[in-house]
Structure 1
């Protein structure tokens, strides 16, 4: 940090198992990725190239090298995985991971209907090749999954070999964990936490109010994802109690 302030919550340091910030890159240029890393690379733990944007991104190799040289893992959005699966191209998807020397992959079924045992099989296969993140929750706002089912799905995917499970929210934060208004389904979240360890869950929380909710519930070192590049530093100040939303929360050692 640039100077000393007392009573700041202790943040985990990279490489960390919790306190993750996952950034969604929706098509940054190589120079924009370089600028983001220069400004806040120390706050970024992993980058997702949103949905299937990697398919149409120019100079993809060069951008991946920028992240790789900064020590920031990258994975391709789960929608791309689903696009391969629905076309019976799982082996081709695995070749893409190898082609771009990717260390992580996302397995999801938010846009397609997939037998859950089949999804777990994909996780078991891919974990031998890469570190797997699996996503639970539908991108269809009309599909409401009961809490017990979220827990069951998450646990089975962890048992299959997922490193972390992702709570679905989309880039807008208006499905899955959240109502269409962006309001957190707090009962769902708290029910999940009765069975699934917090360090194993990466909560997609693109909206500031959602980030504040999770930080107040679970502390500065909660895993948060789908963070926009220009929101990385604002999020870090929320984690540290240096923005109005959490200003009082961490004073005198509270909330840590």
Structure 2
């Protein structure tokens, strides 16, 4: 850090499994990636190339290489996985992972109807090849999944070989874990946490108010995802109590 402040919470250090920040790249240019990793690389643990943007991204190999050179792994959005699955191209998808030297993959079923046992089979198979993140929750705002089902699916997907499970919110933060207004489904989150360890979950939280909510509930080192590149440093200040939203969280024992 550039100077010393007292009562700053301790952040886990990279490579970390807790206090994880997943950034979403929705089409950055190579020059933008260079600038991004230069300014924010210390605070980013993994980058998702959102949904199926990798299919149309120019200079994809070069982009992935830039992230790798900065020590930041990359994975392809779950919607791309679903696009391969619905077309019967699972082996082709595995070939793409190898072609681009990817060490992580996301398995999801937010846009397609997929038998859950079959989803777990895909997780088990991919886990022999790469580190798997599996996403739970629907991209359909009208589809409300009860808490017990979230818990059941998260646990079985972890058991199948997923490294972490992702709570769905989309890039807009208005489905899955959240109401269409962006408000957190608080009861859902709290019930999930009665059964699934917090360090095993990445909560998609693209909106500042959502990030603040999770940090206040679970602390500085909560795992958060779908963070815009422009919001990485602002999020880090929220984690450290250096933005108004969490300013008082870590000031115990200090008086003016």
TM-score by length of 1: 0.98
Write out per-residue CA displacement over residues 151-198 of structure 1, whole angstroms, 9 at most, x where no aligned residue: 000000000000000000000000000000000000000000000000
Structure 2 residue runs without a partner (length 5+): none
Write out per-residue CA displacement over residues 22-55 of structure 1, whole angstroms, 9 at most, x where no aligned residue: 0000000011011011001000000000000000
1:143 matched to which residue of 2? 143
Distance 1:250 1:186 in 2: 23
Is the contact between residue 9 and residue 253 of structure 1 (CA under 8 Å) also seen in structure 2?
no
1:74 matched to which residue of 2? 74
Secondary structure, aligned partner of 2:252:
helix
Distance 2:32 2:11 in 1: 26
2:47 matched to which residue of 1? 47
The CA deviation at 1:251 is 1.2
The CA deviation at 1:80 is 0.1
Write out per-residue CA displacement over residues 117-149 of structure 1, whole angstroms, 9 at most, x where no aligned residue: 000000000000000000000000000000000
2:158 matched to which residue of 1? 158
2:31 matched to which residue of 1? 31
Distance 2:17 2:106 in 1: 17
- 1:113 and 1:61, CA in 2 relative to 1: closer, same or farther beyond 3 A? same
Provide the aligned C-alpha RMSD in A. Answer: 0.9
Distance 2:215 2:253 in 1: 14
Distance 1:252 1:55 in 2: 49
The CA deviation at 1:253 is 7.4
Runs of 4+ displaced beyond 6 Å: none
- 1:60 and 1:108, CA in 2 relative to 1: closer, same or farther beyond 3 A? same
Distance 1:253 1:100 in 2: 51
Distance 1:178 1:60 in 2: 32
Distance 2:251 2:159 in 1: 39
Is the contact between residue 199 and residue 222 of structure 1 (CA under 8 Å) also seen in structure 2?
yes
1:210 matched to which residue of 2? 210
Q: Does 1:219 align with 2:232?
A: no
The CA deviation at 1:252 is 2.2
The number of residue pairs the alignment matches comes to: 254
Distance 2:124 2:157 in 1: 9
Secondary structure, aligned partner of 2:124:
helix
Distance 1:191 1:240 in 2: 26
1:249 matched to which residue of 2? 249
Secondary structure, aligned partner of 1:7:
coil
